[in-house]
Structure 1
Amino acid sequence: MSSPFSLFDFACWLVVFLISMSAHEAAHAFVAKCLGDPTAYHGGQATLNPVPHLRREPFGMLLVPILSYLASGWMIGWASAPYNPNWAAQYPRRAAVMALAGPAANFAIAFLSWLGLKSGLATGIFVPGFTGSFSATVLPTLGGFWRLAAVLLSLGFALNLLLGVFNLIPFPPLDGSALPLLVLPAGLATSYQKVSRSGVALFGLLIAWQVFPRIYRPIWFWMESTLR
């Protein structure tokens, strides 16, 4: 039997999802600008404000997440930040750093959320929640603001850990596919980039979707155990 719809839970999910996706794309845009490609910066993507990201990807940032939540209780979606492919071809290592900045931003949010959860547990404001629950990693011992804090921090921790790990899977079009560019010589890097931008991207997504649970599950349960 499915759980009844909760407007509170839905709103918390949407807020954390939008912030997490915006931070991911803003990191791409900001690092690209620092390394010589201002394309996304000039497009307004170097911001935590979700509005420019929603304008660029309204389906992936809003419609699909809402529909997926109503259907399954989870939010899935996508976003993107533009970049100059000529810049990426000329500076493959810089392009790799730009790509990896997105997952790094998610890991940073996950870590900050973990610190908030850990502090709440240490002070007795939170108690351990339900194993495997994204929105109830901890439960509040007080009501009001602390109920909101418990859900937002739980989601911030779990969702950003998921986004960081998933995007590091080394298959196009995920950010992790840029990892080889850090070590490949120039000629091979150019060939690799051409292959990565071809139709192999859909195939890569299908593979990533299959292998992700095996990668993520042990990481998630280990990280969750640090809060017990």
Structure 2
Amino acid sequence: MKFNVLTLFPEIFAPYLQTSILGNAADKGLLESHIINIRDFTTDKHQTVDDSPYGGGPGMVMKVEPIHAALTSIGQETPAQPNKRTVVLAARGEQFSQPRAADFAALDELTLICGRYEGIDQRVADHLADTELSIGPYVLAGGELAALVVIEAVARLIPGVLGNPDSLTEESHSSGLPREATAGAERSAEYPQYTNPATYKGWDVPDVLLTGDHAAIAAWRQKQAS
């Protein structure tokens, strides 16, 4: 199985992916990891990957263009491809679960997009990914640790990765509960974020964020986060 990871900090991944179960699985040819630096797909000399959020607010938002270019470079420019999935790791996403890990383990390729700052322009999730996932109702500095959690949880379910496959049936969270049983788990309330450009390939920032009407923006954000 192949894992693609889009990140601003590629150096985080090699030490973990080359160690223990994951390292052994890679040596056996069961896993392949492709770590992609999003900055390599910027078009300006400063390698700009973020911009201020439409509608105001603290922090910066990761831009859609370099992420789209990075996905295109690996043939993942559109979601819902056969035996492939693209996932944005975000606090507002569905909580990751063992049933979801089992679904992913049946794929040929899984692409994980790691956020930083205040998040990723929502158009990435809406138009370039299959789903958004969170690993729990808490806040991290970025999606890199979440990506490693997903990779390990999925990799362990791939035949041949564990020395004793019977151990899978003895673990907690391996009861075969349907994904719907965990889909309602508590998650961090977060509204979608957008940054420049206002229009990209016909994907528009919601009009309310361009109005400058702070009351309307606040109401929209509250509704989106509920």
* TM tier relative to shorter chain: under 0.3
TM-score scaled by length of structure 2: 0.26
| Higher-helix-fraction structure | 1
Q: TM-score, normalised by structure 1?
A: 0.25
